[in-house]
Amino acid sequence: MLTSSLRIPVSQTCNNPLATSFRFCNSRCRETILRFSTFCSSACVCTELLAPSEAEQKWVSIRKKKVVMRVGYLGSEYRGLQIQRGEHALSTIEGELEKAILKAGGIRESNYGDLNKIGWARSSRTDKGVHSLATMISMKMEIPDFAWNNDPNGFDLASHVNAFLPQNIKVFSILPSQSSFDPRKECTIRKYSYLLPADIIGIRDTFTASEVDHHLSVFNDILTSFEGEHPFHNYTVRSKYRRPPRRGFTGRGSASDRIVSSNAQSESESEEGDGIQDSSNEQNLGFPPRARWLHEPDERDRIGASHFRKIFQCQCGSLMQLSGLNYVEISICGESFMLHQIRKMMGTAIAVKRGLLPHDILQLSLLKFSRIVLPLAPSEVLFLIGNNFAVRKRPGNLRPEMVTLVESEEILKMVDDFYQSVILPQLGKFLDPLRFPWNEWVDILDENTAIPEHQLEQVRSAWRQWKDEFPSRKTDRFVRV
């Protein structure tokens, strides 16, 4: 199994304790140390993308070859990683990458606008505003004659593509890949970091060391509740990970339950922005309850195996400082994550630490029969820092190209430089609790997150009753609704 290791030197101009070691252990891999301090919509417009000077820089292809590239980006100005087609397509990382590779000569004009034609695949996707230092993308690329000549790290191809990319996106390396490689299926562990202003969780600048340690200990106790394998259906848009209902199914639950289920689904599918629903006059406006128990099966709100995720580590480190601002870094490591999952985990943990939600909401929200509305934390301070890769059907076998991408000192040095010069300065802007995105988000969180006690008590009571009536199900997490 491969583990990316990123080391970033401490800057002389700021106290940056991001250069730390994260150690985690799980049943699938030996103890691992992660170190860090850290891409037009149709082919008919391709010729318009190339200026005369750019056409001169376009390489001449001699063959088509599957490759894998390691990409880093600052996501603040983009709608996310995955490309969006259509008349009103918004700027995405993959959109910028596709244009740049076309201009460099890596994509034929006849294939531009359809990533399926070139076998495009990614190790993971990131939400709007999320950053990355370790996204792996594979594709069938048009290859020039100079590819990898005295260049085992694939820097020459990467530099040609980078010439057409904005400064906030960078291809670190492009290497030849085996035809069977699938970056999503072979990425076994994904590691993210979330930087949180210390003031948001009640740690003041005037606190003594013992007071700081106490608050960090309480917060870590909250975070570790996410570790293990659980259904995280309340932490995502459930419908995106649900099989469509059987044809002709009318539902077995009561009419009122089905209406509530439908409303709750619509609410999840429309969540954007701060992700916190306004609770004022919600009863009068007919909003569904914030917390409820699904007493009877509802085919339109089914929880399946795809809602279960395994989290190996969710912990925060010691108090750190950047540009004079105190913050904590939360390390989240898991097999895979769903849309908004990490941000809802962070929003819920913050709400519990601020006393807006009870501590047992962590357990209640991870029960497959519960349906609970949870807050969505800002995306601006979340970034992907590393991956593990393994050939699933051949345990112990490592792909040479992935060994190079995650372990090469030269590539890691480029990643360090990109982090220091592009990502870190931007992250520093988001660590002031009195400025965007925290100022308005905290106000909304404090005002609208609380769940009525009678709704929580109904969930608690239903959970106790379910355990008493079905004791054999207590350890069976995969009984479907």
Name the active-site residue from 114, 127, 156, 278. Answer: 127
Contacts with 224 (C-beta within 8 Å, 6 or more apart), sequence order: 314, 315
Strands 325-334 and 20-26: unpaired
Asked whether 232 and 341 are in contact (CB, 8 A), the reply is yes
Per DSSP, the three-state class of 67 is strand
Asked whether 119 and 142 are in contact (CB, 8 A), the reply is no
Is residue 182 flagged as an active site residue? no
CA dihedral defined by 390, 392, 398, 403, rounded to 10 degrees? -30
How far apart CA 209 and CA 221 sit, in angstroms, is 18
How far apart CA 411 and CA 154 sit, in angstroms, is 9
Q: How far is CA 89 from CA 18, 30, 85, 108, 311, in A?
A: 36, 43, 5, 21, 34
CB-neighbour burial class of residue 218 (10 A; exposed 0-12, middle 13-18, buried 19+): middle
Sign of torsion over alpha carbons 141, 145, 147, 148: positive
What is the DSSP track for 314-335?
EEE---EEETTEEEEEEEEEES
For the chain, what percentages of helix, strand and coil (3-state, to nearest 5) are there?
A: 35, 20, 40
Q: If residue 218 lies in a helix (H) or strand (E), which one and from where to where?
A: helix 209-223
Contacts with 280 (C-beta within 8 Å, 6 or more apart), sequence order: 448
How far apart CA 334 and CA 218 sit, in angstroms, is 22
Per DSSP, the three-state class of 246 is coil
Q: Which residues are catalytic?
A: 127
